[in-house]
Amino acid sequence: MKFYLSIWKKEWIKTRTALLILLPCLVLYTLYILYPFMQPISAGVLNKMWEVMIERNIVFVEGLKYIPVSFGILLALAQMIPETLQKRLKLTLHLPYSDQCITNALLSYGWVLTLMVALFIEGVTFMVTAPYLPYELVRRILLTALPWCMAGVVGYSLICWVVLESTLLRRILFGILSVGFVHLYFLASFPESETPGMLLLLFLLVVYSAMLPHYSITRYRLGQN
């Protein structure tokens, strides 16, 4: 655990400027989208809101759709571009630990942050909607936002995979594949349309995407082009 904390400290120093910009923007924008629920709502407006959510399949939080994935992508760029351009990865891989341990330490920093963002969005959404909406509608909102939150972790892992790849052609190919992967999390045509089976598949893709950067780092270590 001490090794992980040391790596996270190094990553914090490297990405703190980006995080000090991204996190306040994320918090403010999330509160802006949820602002209609944060002020007194009359009975007439509330009834109209329920009607619109049920009959028109609107959840009033669509503005949050791309926030987690945008955060994940920008964090991955801020974290991994210096590793490749400034040859920091070569030095990191010379630490007396296995490549898998080092890779997990690097990536876990981003995974923790993207998960914290997902929990923040789901948590704040629950807190501001629960006082006004019945359980069924709150559940619909949270389940609708769940794939968007998973997309944040996937986007982070895939961008790390692309940036850590050592050859331009493979970066282009991996970038195209990454767009396809991420697109799967935004296919829903109406709120809460994913079945439990689809949510399980999306979760398994989260796990799979987390393993892909290991491939790029292994190729980097072996000097493969």
Digit-coded pLDDT (tens) for 61-105: 888 999 999 999 999 999 998 878 767 677 776 777 777 888 888
Give the model's pLDDT for residue 225. 52
Structural domain including 81 reads 2-222
205 closest CA partner among 177, 173, 182, 175: 182
CB-based contacts of 38, cutoff 8 Å, min separation 6:
31, 128
Q: Total structural domains in the chain? A: 1
Please, what is the average pLDDT of the chain?
Answer: 87
> Is pLDDT above 70 for 18?
yes
Q: How far from chain centre, in Å, is Cα 36?
A: 25
Write the pLDDT tens digit of every residue in 112-124: 999 999 999 999 9
Write the pLDDT tens digit of every residue in 177-212: 999 999 999 987 677 777 888 889 999 999 999 999
